[in-house]
Amino acid sequence: MSKATNSPKKPSSQRKDVVRAEKLQAGYGTKSVCGVASFSLQSGQALALVGPNGAGKSTVVKTVVGQLEAVSGTALIHGAKVDDRTLDFRREVAVVFDDDAFFPALTVEEHLAIVSAGHGVEDVEEVIASELEFFGLKALATSRPYNLSSGQRRRMLLASAFVRPRSLLVLDEPEQRLDTAMRHRLATRLRAEVDAGLALLVVTHDPEFLTTVATKALFIADTVHPMTPAQAAAAIASENPHAE
């Protein structure tokens, strides 16, 4: 059996839904935090979730990937009910949320080594070196996360998603704590990977990032409705006229 690479998996000639949400209500217990969401995401598509602060975007995403129970409705990944404990899920889905999850005793390089080797990636050292270079962490490879700045830790967590194979990448405000140049580089790379077959589900508050990356968008609030990327970027800009 050949080992995995850290590239996004290419879609088959017959497109199928990577994610499908049907009448999904996200929330806590029996209390929903936003309107009912129904959407699909296929290989080669990037769906951006937008909406006001506190509208429930992150809650929807966490429900889709099984970190929260749905109040009602269903979410399927590759046609199966979501269970983030299964090997199939962990093989296919890479997730980065807006939190700092790391092992205090491990260096940046050791974190990436565990993730890549654990997913059967070939040429682990080469893959890690490439991501350290891309995310500007080469000089910090032997540093421990608690010695890094908030932005540097964010880049380390993002790098951990790129050193492993994935057919679905889920990112919660990946632009946060990144400088303008890194935001642009990340957006450009993500769009290239989407064009190569990755399915991307992303929460963002950055209009420029959104229009670079997204192929479609979903507005999350008391009601949920689809938007074009241009419409979603305009909605973000109107909410925050100083947005980049």
pLDDT of residue 122: 86
Tokens 């939190």 identify what position?
99
Distance, CA of 149 to CA of 212 (rounded, Å): 27
Distance, CA of 216 to CA of 47 (rounded, Å): 5
Q: pLDDT tens digits for the chain (244 residues)?
A: 334 446 665 544 456 899 999 999 999 999 999 999 999 999 999 999 999 988 999 999 999 999 999 999 999 999 999 888 888 888 899 999 877 677 888 999 999 999 999 888 989 999 999 999 999 999 999 999 989 999 999 999 999 999 999 999 999 999 999 999 999 999 999 999 999 999 999 999 999 999 999 999 999 999 999 999 999 999 998 876 444 4
Q: Beta-carbon neighbour count of residue 79 at 10 Å?
A: 9
Domain ranges for the chain, please list them: 17-101+167-239
Distance, CA of 102 to CA of 157 (rounded, Å): 8
Please check whether residue 26 is in contact with residue 56, taking contact to mean a CB–CB distance below 8 angstroms.
yes
Determine the 3-state secondary structure of 20 from DSSP: strand
CA atoms within 13 Å, Cβ hemisphere of 221: 12
CATH of 17-101+167-239, one of 3.40.50.300, 3.40.190.80, 3.30.1950.10, 3.40.50.2000: 3.40.50.300
pLDDT of residue 7: 60
Q: Beta-carbon neighbour count of residue 92 at 10 Å?
A: 18
Distance of CA 32 to the CA centre of its chain: 23
Distance, CA of 67 to CA of 71 (rounded, Å): 13
pLDDT of residue 242: 47
pLDDT of residue 198: 97
Q: Which of 179, 143, 173 is nearest to 158 (CA)?
A: 173
DSSP letter, residue 98: S
Backbone CA torsion sign across 165, 171, 176, 182 = positive
pLDDT of residue 98: 75
Please check whether residue 174 is in contact with residue 7, taking contact to mean a CB–CB distance below 8 angstroms.
no
pLDDT of residue 217: 98
Q: Report pLDDT digits (tens) over 160-187.
A: 999 999 999 999 999 999 999 999 999 9
- Adjacent-strand bridge partners of 135: none
Task: Name the amino acid, one letter, at 42.
Answer: Q
